[in-house]
Amino acid sequence: MRIGVLVSGTGTNLQALLDAQAAGALAPAELVVVIANVPDAPALDRARRAGVATEVVDHRGRARAAFEDALAEALARHRAEAVVLAGFMRILTAGFVDRYPQRIVNTHPSLLPAFPGRDAPAQALAYGVKLAGVTIHFVDATVDGGPIIAQAAVAVEDGDDARALHARIQREEHRLLPIVVQRLAAGRLSCQGRHVRSRAE
């Protein structure tokens, strides 16, 4: 399954996917293009170093529908069949997500449905939760609201700030995301309503 990865920033989750691919652990998923909405996103360098094609689709100066059309065109140019949002910080509307039913996954640094949106680790700390974590989910037209594929909890420690907590959450993201992408490509994720079954074999 040909996978396009959408990024906006540092790209440590992308790196986890690239490393898994290099280790032969992602097949039958194949990363075919990395698309950034931010022209100087460091994630693009990670893709280039790994020999994966890159594209920039800048959201600035484009209406949302035109931006989403341009994203879909870039994905189509590389014949991507599924999409991974790996630190992609734009909201996607039904106009985009309906083109890839149960073929878009996102990683989000909270135990959804708690703390959707931006700065989830800071939201979790401000609320005073004792358990934070990561959620990998299918993307639908709601914000961080699609069916949950995988979650891992991370304990909040005394003295945590958002940066320290996010760093520990990311260790779990980097472990889970390649597993989910491999299973998606292998046809091992099935979704009925909100319930996702994820099979190792």
Q: Say whether residue 198 binds ligand GAR (CB under 6 A).
A: no
59 is catalytic: no
Comparing CB distances to ligand GAR, the nearer of 10 and 151 is 10
In terms of Cβ atoms closer than 10 Å to its own Cβ (0-12, 13-18, 19+), residue 41 is: buried
Q: Least CB distance from residue 50 to ligand GAR, whole Å?
A: 14
The amino acid present at 38, given as its one-letter code, is V
Up-side HSE of residue 139: CA atoms within 13 Å toward CB?
25
Catalytic residue among 59, 78, 108, 174: 108
Q: Which of residues 37, 54, 107, 182 is near ligand GAR by CB under 6 A?
A: 107
Counting Cα atoms < 13 Å in the Cβ hemisphere of 70 gives 16
Which of the ranges 5-13, 63-71, 91-99, 192-200 carries the binding residues for ligand GAR, by CB under 6 A?
Answer: 5-13
The amino acid present at 27, given as its one-letter code, is A
120 forms part of the interface with ligand GAR (CB under 6 A): yes
Annotate each residue in 126-165 with x if it binds ligand GAR (CB under 6 A) or - if it does not, as one string: ----------------------------------------
- In the complex with ligand GAR, the residue whose CB is nearer, 179 or 190, is 179
User: Token digits for 7?
Assistant: 């990024």
Q: Which residues are catalytic?
A: 108
**Which residues make up the interface to ligand GAR (CB under 6 A)?**
9-13, 43, 86-87, 107-109, 120, 170, 173
